[in-house]
């Protein structure tokens, strides 16, 4: 099964909220007028960064003959969607759309902007649910495209990747999955079990290490994680490892002591290599919804977060939060997780994600 199919099936299973919501919005206000050719759906070949758009201006419906000749996609949609119910895109519909996006955890600001962009030049037109999904997917992909960046690999050896996040966000699982993928790509990977407080966490990482076929460095329970991180750097360097991934204990945002300990890990790592850590990955659990935004803020203050991984997109109707994160922080999204298996993590693809989120086929 391709990752897109998996993403769509699992996102749709849990977060069909947006797709179903769009169907409902159109069906609710659908009129009985005969079908008219579908308005062309903007499909930029190359996603462009989102520009702040002016507020939508009420425009009279474009006369059918004045409409530009639809492109390939427009013609396809015109045919395929001609017998679908249509609803006039007006203020009431836009308001419903905005509410639905907010409920899908996209955040008020982002939902407003996306809705305004959809309205731009289209007010008064009659759109089908499929067209609305295409428009929404296009807007989401435009927001997400600039942040869809796989974990960068540098010539520096070892490249130190520090993995942080709150308890249970999926750090250990993500390290296991990433280590397996980098190993398969021919990289020499070492993993350090920096959560020295919980024996179970160390064991769990060892299980992942075995699965991925990479060594896992551990330290006695209760020992200083910063000193383990230092030892791991010495070993990774001695072994000529390409990548050293350091797991850390999950920390609640309000636990000052744990937060300080993370800062100490970074200080100690820098004694060995002032340019390390080369990446600080913040792992976020999609099921936490809007709380993910405050987690980013908190961890950014404490560690130099360089990128995000979002897990558990399979278990939530709150996938929209990823759009809000991209819009608000612009931090690279390196990967997304849609399950507990080793191959349930893949690089983040803006278009695939956008289409899966609104329930469209590839």
Looking at beta carbons only, is 165 or 209 nearer to ligand GTP?
165
311 is in an annotated binding site: yes
Smallest gap from Cβ 115 to ligand GTP, in A, equals 29
Q: Does the annotation place 168 within a ligand binding site?
A: yes
What per-residue string of b and e applies to 320-333 under the rule 16 or more CB within 10 Å gives b? bbbbbbbbebebbb
Smallest distance from ligand GTP to CB 147, Å: 19
Grouping H, G, I as helix, E, B as strand and the rest as coil, residue 153 is: coil
Written as one string, the DSSP assignment of 221-268 is TTS-HHHHHHHHHHHHHHTT-SEEEEEE----TT-HHHHHHHHHHHHH
| Pick 117 or 279: Cβ nearer ligand GTP | 279
* CA dist list (Å): 213 to 99, 207, 208, 322, 333: 47, 10, 8, 31, 26
169 known ligand binder: yes
Cite the DSSP H helix spans in 16-164: 17-28, 72-80, 91-103, 108-119, 129-144
Q: Which is nearer to ligand GTP, 12 or 130 (CB)?
A: 12
Nearest CB to ligand GTP, comparing residues 78 and 170:
170
Q: How far is the CB of 134 from ligand GTP (least distance, A)?
A: 27
Q: Is 194 annotated as a binding residue?
A: no
Rounded distance, CA 296 to CA 283, Å? 9
Vertex 98, ends 56 and 282: CA angle to 5°? 110
Nearest distance in Å: CB 70, ligand GTP = 39
Residue 166 annotated as binding site: yes
Cβ-based nearer residue to ligand GTP, 43 or 206: 206
Q: Are 8 and 355 in contact (CB under 8 A)?
A: yes
Pairwise CA distance, residues 310 & 337, whole Å: 6
Encoding tokens for residue 47?
Answer: 């996603």
Question: 314 among the known binding-site residues?
Answer: yes
Residues at the contact surface with ligand GTP, assessed by CB under 6 A: 165, 167-173, 195, 201, 204, 250, 311-312, 314-315, 337-340, 344
To the nearest whole angstrom, how small is the minimum distance from the Cβ of residue 292 to ligand GTP? 14
Q: Rank residues 56 and 194 by Cβ distance to ligand GTP and give the closer one.
A: 194
Buried/exposed 194-229: b ≥16 CB within 10 Å, e otherwise? bbbbeeebbebbbebbeebebbbbbbeeeeebbebb
The token duo for 321 is 């939060």
Residue 171 known to bind ligand: yes
* Sheet with strand 243-248: strands edge to edge: 216-217, 189-194, 243-248, 159-164, 279-285, 307-311, 333-337, 345-347
Instruction: Give whichever of 266 and 310 is closer to ligand GTP, judged by the CB atom.
Output: 310
Our CA angle for 145, 122, 116, nearest 5°, is 50
Residue with tokens 């993993």: 191
Closest approach of ligand GTP to the CB of residue 296, in Å: 15
**Residue 100 or 356: which CB sits closer to ligand GTP?**
356
Report the nearest approach of ligand GTP to the CB of residue 361 (Å). 22
Distance CA 294, CA 274 (A): 29
- Within 16-107, residue ranges assigned H as helices are 17-28, 72-80, 91-103
Report the residue number whose CB is nearest to ligand GTP: 250
> Rounded to the nearest whole angstrom, what is the least distance from the CB of residue 59 to ligand GTP in the complex?
43
Positions at the binding site: 165-172, 247-251, 311-314
Positions at the binding site for GTP: 165-172, 247-251, 311-314
């Amino acid at each position: 099964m391709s990752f897109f199919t998996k993403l769509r099936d699992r996102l749709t299973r849990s977060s069909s909220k947006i797709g179903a919501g769009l169907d409902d919005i159109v069906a609710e206000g659908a009129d009985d007028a005969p079908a008219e050719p579908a308005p062309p759906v903007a499909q930029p070949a190359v996603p462009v960064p989102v520009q702040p758009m002016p507020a939508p201006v009420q425009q009279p419906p474009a006369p059918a003959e004045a409409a530009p000749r639809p492109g390939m996609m427009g013609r396809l949609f015109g045919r395929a969607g001609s017998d679908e119910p249509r609803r006039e895109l007006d203020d009431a519909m836009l308001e419903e759309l905005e509410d639905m996006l907010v409920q899908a955890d996209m955040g008020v600001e982002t939902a407003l902007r996306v809705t305004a962009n959809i309205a731009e030049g289209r007010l008064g037109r009659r759109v089908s649910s499929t067209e609305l999904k295409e428009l929404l997917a296009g807007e989401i992909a435009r927001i997400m495209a600039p942040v869809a960046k796989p974990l960068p690999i540098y010539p520096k050896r070892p490249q130190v990747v520090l993995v942080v996040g709150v308890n249970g966000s999926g750090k250990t699982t993500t390290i296991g999955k990433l280590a397996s993928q980098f190993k398969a790509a021919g990289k020499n990977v070492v993993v350090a079990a920096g959560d020295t407080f919980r024996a179970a966490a160390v064991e769990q990482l060892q299980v992942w290490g075995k699965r991925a076929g990479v060594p896992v460095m551990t330290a006695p329970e209760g020992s200083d994680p910063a000193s383990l991180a230092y030892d791991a750097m010495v070993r990774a360097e001695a072994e000529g490892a390409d990548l050293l991934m350091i797991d850390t204990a999950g920390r609640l945002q309000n636990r000052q002591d744990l937060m300080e300990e993370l800062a100490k890990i970074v200080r100690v790592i820098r004694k060995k290599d002032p340019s390390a850590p080369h990446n600080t990955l913040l792992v976020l659990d999609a099921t936490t919804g809007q709380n993910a935004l405050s987690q980013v803020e908190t961890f950014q203050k404490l560690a130099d977060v360089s990128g995000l991984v979002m897990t558990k997109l399979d278990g939530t109707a709150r996938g929209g939060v990823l759009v809000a994160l991209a819009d608000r922080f612009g931090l690279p999204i390196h990967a997304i997780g849609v399950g507990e298996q080793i191959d349930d993590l893949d690089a983040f693809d803006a278009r695939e994600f956008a289409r899966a989120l609104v329930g469209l086929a590839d």
